[in-house]
Amino acid sequence: MCGLAGEIACAPNSRTDADRAIPMLHAILHRGPDDVGLWESETGAACLLHTRLSLVDPEGGRQPMSDPGSQVVIAYNGEFYDFEKARRELEARGVIFRTRSDTEVLLQLYLHRGPDFVHDLEGEFAFALFDRRKGQTMLARDRFGVKPLFIAEQNGLLLFGSEAKAVLAHPQFERRLNRTVLKRRLQGVFLPQDSLFAGISAIEPGTYMLVSREGMVTKRYADLDPEAVGTLDLSFDEATEALEETLAAAVKRRFHGDAPVGIFLSGGVDSSSIGALAGSRPERQRSAYSIDFVGASDSERAAAAAAAERFSLRNINCPIDAEDLSGAFATSLWHAETVAPDTHGTAKFLLAGRARRDVKAVLTGEGADELHGGYAYFEHAALIAAAAAGRDQGRLTRFLAEHGSRDGVLRAITPKLRRRLAWSRSGGTPYSAMRAAVGGRGMRFMMTESFRRDAAERPEQALLDWLSHRAPQARGLDDASLSRFVALQTDLPAYNLSSLGDRIEMAHGLEARLPFLDRAVVDLLWRMPVDFHNKDGETKRVLRAMLARRLPATAQRPKRNFLTPAATTSVLLQSPLPRRWLSNEATRRAGIFEPLMVSTVRHLAAPLRNRPSAAFYLGACLTMALSTHLIIDMFCERFRETLSTHAPISLDALHRQLRGDRAPMRAVA
pLDDT at 501: 92
Same domain, 215 and 264: no
CA distance 315 to 265: 9
Residue 113 lies in domain:
2-222
Average pLDDT over residues 199-212: 98
Q: Count of domains in the chain?
A: 4
- DSSP structure class, residue 78: E
Please count the CA atoms within 13 angstroms of the CA of 255 that sit on its side-chain side.
Answer: 18
Judge residue 241's burial from the number of C-beta atoms within 10 Å of its C-beta, 0-12 exposed, 13-18 middle, 19 or more buried: middle
Same domain, 584 and 539: no
CA distance 586 to 578: 10
Q: Is residue 655 part of a domain?
A: no
Same domain, 357 and 460: no
pLDDT at 87: 94
Closest CA to 621 of 597, 591, 657: 597
Same domain, 438 and 519: no
* Tens digit of each residue's pLDDT (9 = 90 or more) over 548-565: 988 887 777 766 555 566
Report the chain's mean pLDDT, rounded to a whole number. Answer: 91
* Tens digit of each residue's pLDDT (9 = 90 or more) over 92-133: 999 999 998 899 999 999 999 999 999 999 999 999 999 999
Same domain, 134 and 210: yes
CA distance 600 to 594: 10
Q: Which helix (H) or strand (E) holds 662?
A: none
CA distance 198 to 180: 9
Q: Is residue 443 part of a domain?
A: yes
Average pLDDT over residues 541-545: 95
Stronger pLDDT, 420 or 256, i.e. the higher one = 420
Q: Is residue 647 part of a domain?
A: no
For residue 69, give the CATH number of its domain: 3.60.20.10
CA distance 261 to 43: 41
Average pLDDT over residues 525-547: 93
The runs of H, that is alpha helices, within 391-518 are 393-402, 415-420, 431-446, 449-454, 459-470, 479-489, 491, 503-506
663 falls in which pLDDT band (50, 70, 90)? very low
* Tens digit of each residue's pLDDT (9 = 90 or more) over 145-192: 999 999 999 999 999 999 999 999 999 999 999 999 999 999 999 999
Same domain, 609 and 544: no
Q: Is residue 378 part of a domain?
A: yes
pLDDT at 216: 97
Q: Is residue 453 part of a domain?
A: yes
Indicate the length of the chain as a whole number.
Answer: 669
300-314, 327-341, 355-369, 470-484: range with lowest mean pLDDT: 300-314
Are 36 and 22 contacting, i.e. CB atoms less than 8 angstroms apart?
Answer: no
Check whether 651 has a pLDDT greater than 60.
yes
| 218: CB partners within 8 A, 6+ apart | 203, 207, 208, 209
203-217, 417-431, 443-457, 622-636: range with lowest mean pLDDT: 417-431
pLDDT at 665: 34
CA distance 47 to 39: 6
Check whether 282 has a pLDDT greater than 70.
no
56 falls in which pLDDT band (50, 70, 90)? low
Same domain, 526 and 628: no
Same domain, 612 and 501: no
Same domain, 56 and 140: yes
Same domain, 583 and 551: no
Q: Could you tell me the sign of the dihedral formed by the alpha carbons of 266, 268, 274, 280, in that order?
A: positive
Q: Is residue 667 part of a domain?
A: no
Are 581 and 307 contacting, i.e. CB atoms less than 8 angstroms apart?
Answer: no
Q: Is residue 644 part of a domain?
A: no
Q: Is residue 646 part of a domain?
A: no
70-74, 292-296, 358-362: range with lowest mean pLDDT: 292-296
Domain final residue pick, 189, 222, 255: 222
Are 168 and 150 contacting, i.e. CB atoms less than 8 angstroms apart?
Answer: no
214-228, 312-326, 547-561, 587-601: range with lowest mean pLDDT: 547-561
The runs of H, that is alpha helices, within 556-638 are 566-573, 576-581, 584-590, 595-605, 612-631
* Tens digit of each residue's pLDDT (9 = 90 or more) over 287-317: 999 999 887 766 778 888 888 888 889 999 9
Domain final residue pick, 459, 492, 525: 492
- DSSP structure class, residue 541: H
Average pLDDT over residues 582-598: 96
Closest CA to 532 of 230, 241, 224: 230
41-45, 174-178, 277-281, 584-588: range with lowest mean pLDDT: 277-281
Same domain, 541 and 580: no
Q: Which helix (H) or strand (E) holds 103?
A: helix 102-113
| 88: CB partners within 8 A, 6+ apart | none
pLDDT at 396: 93
For residue 525, give the CATH number of its domain: 3.40.50.620
Domain final residue pick, 492, 520, 539: 492
Q: Could you tell me the sign of the dihedral formed by the alpha carbons of 245, 248, 250, 252, in that order?
A: negative
Average pLDDT over residues 357-379: 94
pLDDT at 669: 21
Check whether 358 has a pLDDT greater than 60.
yes
Show the CA angle centred on residue 337, arms to residues 336 and 338, nearest 5°: 95
* Tens digit of each residue's pLDDT (9 = 90 or more) over 15-37: 999 999 999 999 999 999 889 99
Same domain, 504 and 466: no
